[in-house]
């Protein structure tokens, strides 16, 4: 699947490992929350970067005490009308001060990419068949932000004084 990281197409060095699959040594691996909970001690000894994938019904509080062990957190968008991962990314950045990579996975839609980035995502995994060039262009759809967010963009918008007209 195509990966956009820091606004450009990137090589994906991460391998998602299933619940019962062997963990390849020395490689960057992403495990599900259940696997992490069942094997945290063993996985902590992994000799490569470690990531965890959270489903939309698995909030970051479930891994808050373990955040220092992860290099990447993948947040799942199961469908277009489930936006909990937006909130989870912002919580990870602002409440938990997670500085590693936050990746959007699943039903990652072009219309939402700009907002994903503002909430704290720095990599976006697109489904096969999605146009990478238009997705990258969508990251710049808006040039002005009205509210501050996790991407630390200022909100330099002047509000027109409607009462003076």
How confident is the model at residue 65, as a pLDDT?
A: 95
Question: Of how many residues is the chain composed?
Answer: 165
Please report the beta strands in the chain, taking only residues with DSSP state E, as ranges in sequence order. Answer: 3-5, 8-10, 14-16, 28-32, 50-54, 72-77, 101-106, 123-125
Residue range 68-77, pLDDT digits in tens: 999 999 999 9
- Cα 109 to Cα 7, 67, 87, 163, distances in angstroms: 15, 27, 16, 39
The 3-state DSSP composition of the chain as helix, strand, coil percent (nearest 5) reads 30, 20, 45
Q: The domain spanning residue 67 has which CATH number? A: 3.20.20.70
Which pLDDT band holds residue 81 (cuts at 50, 70, 90)?
Answer: confident
- CA end-to-end span of the chain: 53
> Total structural domains in the chain?
1
Cα–Cα distance measured from residue 42 to residue 71, given in angstroms and rounded to the nearest whole number: 16
Q: Which domain covers residue 63, as residue numbers?
A: 3-164
Q: Which of 156, 111, 119 is nearest to 137 (CA)?
A: 111
User: For the chain, what percent of residues have pLDDT higher than 70?
Assistant: 78
What is this structure's pTM?
0.81
- Cα 21 to Cα 27, 48, 87, 125, distances in angstroms: 14, 16, 30, 22
Residue range 43-70, pLDDT digits in tens: 888 889 999 999 999 999 999 999 999 9
> What value does the mean pLDDT of the chain take?
82
**pLDDT over threshold 90, residue 28:** yes
């Amino acid at each position: 699947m195509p990966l956009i990281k820091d606004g450009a197409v990137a090589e994906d060095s991460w391998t998602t490992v299933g619940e019962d699959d062997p963990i390849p040594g020395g490689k960057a691996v992403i495990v599900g929350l259940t696997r992490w909970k069942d094997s945290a001690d063993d996985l902590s000894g992994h000799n490569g970067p470690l990531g965890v994938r959270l489903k939309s019904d698995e909030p970051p509080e479930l891994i808050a005490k373990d955040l220092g062990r992860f290099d990447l957190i993948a947040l799942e968008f199961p469908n277009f009308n489930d936006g909990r991962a937006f909130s989870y990314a912002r919580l990870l950045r602002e409440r938990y001060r997670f500085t590693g990579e936050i990746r959007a996975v699943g039903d990652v839609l072009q219309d939402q990419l700009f907002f994903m980035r503002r909430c704290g995502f720095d990599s976006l995994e697109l489904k096969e068949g999605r146009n990478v060039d238009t997705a990258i262009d969508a990251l710049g759809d808006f040039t002005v932000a009205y509210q501050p967010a996790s991407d630390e963009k200022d909100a330099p918008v002047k509000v027109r004084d409607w009462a003076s007209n």
